[in-house]
A and B are shown apart, each in its own frame.
Chain A
């Protein structure tokens, strides 16, 4: 090899080596954004007293956003544009992920120290256990904060509160309930008001099951939903699905028996369904009742907007041992990651997100606001552009949800180790509904599994 050729190859090789080494060193985004909090004062105590000129504040904000429907993406982009105008040097980068993907990605990011700035949250339990979220209480207690603890509808903030710390501020309230195709119900000879007990649900499901249509749809194919449905129904029988005490045994078995009774009125395929299949079957009028939540409209609108006009939202009716009908209420909101170097800017943006302007838009997409000051008429007005083909039905569903949260809403329980319990419940519910075990055996297997999970996480 001629000397000049050798030198050239050596240069290329060296470049490759250094590229690999540099690539391995990685790009810590946090490092690129360092210093904003120092410039703006202490992370949680902006007591410098100096007036901040927000037009000059520079920051790159990474915002994890699990809104993947078109309307949710539009909301995100609109917010980004508005903030760019208001804060010209603040760049927001949205990380669009599904809820399931988000949990996995963020858990890895938290543990590698490469955390984004703003989190969209539902259940904060796991992230708090990972020490990944900032307690927002000191932020809310500041005199100049536009978000205060008293701003929220009863119960909604509780879902984000653990051991006195508030790890997310709620934007919308998520209630879990029963959606009923009122037309199918009426055609079957029943009225909505007659759905008061589990026996009524079973009767309605039976009457609706005819001519290739079914009364009920329980998505058993995904562990999260397989767990969530009996979890929701259990509230109206005074039993929490993670309650393994002997005292709750009879209520628990009633819960299992209820779903066993409904099995004859469900398409067999529900064993493999997730939410998409369940919503598709319901939207196409193949199933008359589904356990869903405030996210109903955004999930069915793109499949068949007309279904919204014949749908009603009711709390899951009362079980045989239930003292009253109860609807678990969670929230969807925003938090700040503990490792963020831009907490002040992130908090500023969170406050903007919770302003009536943006909060009403988000509520228009997801049905119920968690903030007292956001007006219902604003939400409905904005919903006209989100759900133009089904606005009357959507308005009625919003009113249904508002009513059921006010009358029956209770804070949803947060369960440590829930993902593991979800698999246990799914596995055993499948056995129960495919006649491989009876309610007693299913109960024993679920309780054994849940107790093992509890023991694992016991402090």
Chain B
């Protein structure tokens, strides 16, 4: 490396260095370490040390573990359900909050409350709401004569996933609504007014103008929502601990249980690596389906 090169480019590399060091130390190194550990039989409490087992952990999870595919399915329900329902709530919310409303700033601020509140606290609050014995949900539904007897929301096969998804939607939709709001402000009012003058109905204006123009921002926001839902471990942990048993576990809770409850770091790392592969596949499919038109 010559002095001239350093003089020409040294300062640029120096500016890049903190970010590069950060990425290497806190992103790439843990990633490679996770993959390395996944190829070992490494339990902290088995008193056997570490032994290289190649792909055995993966083989066990994919072919012998009777819980893995059920948990994988739960993860898909959690991610796709959260993302779709968050959009379903966020789109009308964004449209309402972009309209001329009295105290619009205040409403926009209030909408953000669930999003800025800590996940664990939200989880505890919703756990109280869903309490099958003294919960608010049962109290109001009984008072309105909608239910005759209490529902154990988080312990009932039928209700547990709707309850979890409702909480996830409540927590996550403000972010999507905020992104869509920023998209809506970029849409020309003249174009909407012109369509109105041309006789387009409100539905037509929404489906033919607003929605297509929102697509790029919806694409990016959807991507973020998928990835953040996939890793949203705390919400399920606070509400159900992933149980009973593994009934409401998703892959991140399964990683946690194996690595930090059972202290099986080898298997935990293998689940984490598989989880990463699956989320990449989902993101790839998403990009294939929706990415092209947004290029």
Contact = CB atoms under 8 A, between A and B. Distances in A.
Top 5 A-B residue pairs of the complex, sorted by shortest distance between their CB atoms: A427-B245, A269-B132, A271-B155, A269-B133, A129-B45
A244 B247 CA distance: 25
Interface in A223-260: 223, 226
B257 interface: yes
Contacts of A14: 14
A223 B48 CA distance: 26
B150 interface: yes
A457 B14 contact: no
B263 A222 contact: no
Given A17-B21, A430-B245, 8 more contacts: A9-B15, A17-B14, A24-B25, A269-B131, A269-B152, A272-B155, A420-B262, A428-B245
A88 interface: no
A268 interface: yes
Contacts of A220: 155, 244
Contacts of A190: none
Contacts of A281: 133
Interface string A119-138: 00000011001100000000
Contacts of B260: 104, 107-108
5 contacts: A10-B11, A16-B18, A125-B45, A272-B132, A427-B245
Contact of A423 (B25, B45, B152, B257): B257
Contacts of B44: 107, 111, 126, 129-130
B18 A277 contact: no
Interface of B: 11, 14-15, 17-18, 21-22, 25, 43-48, 131-133, 150, 152, 154-155, 240-241, 243-247, 257, 260-263
A20 B245 contact: no
B14 to A, nearest CB: 5
A167 B34 CA distance: 32
A419 interface: yes
Contacts of B247: 427, 430
Contact of B47 (A24, A129, A269, A286): A129
Nearest to B160: A272
A21 interface: yes
Interface in A1-46: 6, 9-10, 13-14, 16-17, 20-21, 24
A430 B132 contact: no
Contacts of A154: none
Contact of B244 (A17, A125, A267, A427): A427
B246 A423 contact: yes
Contacts of B21: 17, 20-21, 24
Contacts of B243: 221-223, 423, 426-427, 430
Main secondary structure, interface of B, reads: loop
Contacts of A17: 14, 17-18, 21
Given A104-B260, A271-B244, A272-B152, A13 B14 contact: yes
B17 A286 contact: no
A269 B150 contact: yes
Interface in A266-321: 267-269, 271-272, 277, 281, 286
Contacts of A269: 131-133, 150, 152, 155
B133 A271 contact: no
Interface string A79-109: 0000000000000000000000000100110
Contacts of B244: 220-221, 226, 271, 426-427, 430
B245 A130 contact: no
Contacts of B257: 423
B182 to A, nearest CB: 31
A107 B131 CA distance: 33
A416 interface: yes
Contact of A10 (B14, B22, B133, B155): B14
Contacts of B133: 267, 269, 277, 281, 286
A457 B155 contact: no
Most buried by B among A13, A20, A130, A423: A423
Nearest to B157: A434
A457 B47 CA distance: 8
Given A220-B244, A272-B152, A416-B45, A267 B18 contact: no
A200 B274 CA distance: 51
Interface in A29-69: none
Contact of A126 (B14, B15, B45, B152): B45
Interface string A416-440: 1101100110111010000000000
A446 to B, nearest CB: 11
Contacts of B45: 125-126, 129-130, 416-417, 457
Contacts of A277: 131, 133
Contact of A6 (B11, B46, B48, B241): B11
Nearest to B46: A457
A354 to B, nearest CB: 28
Contacts of A428: 245
B18 A13 contact: yes
B25 A221 contact: no
A20 B45 CA distance: 33
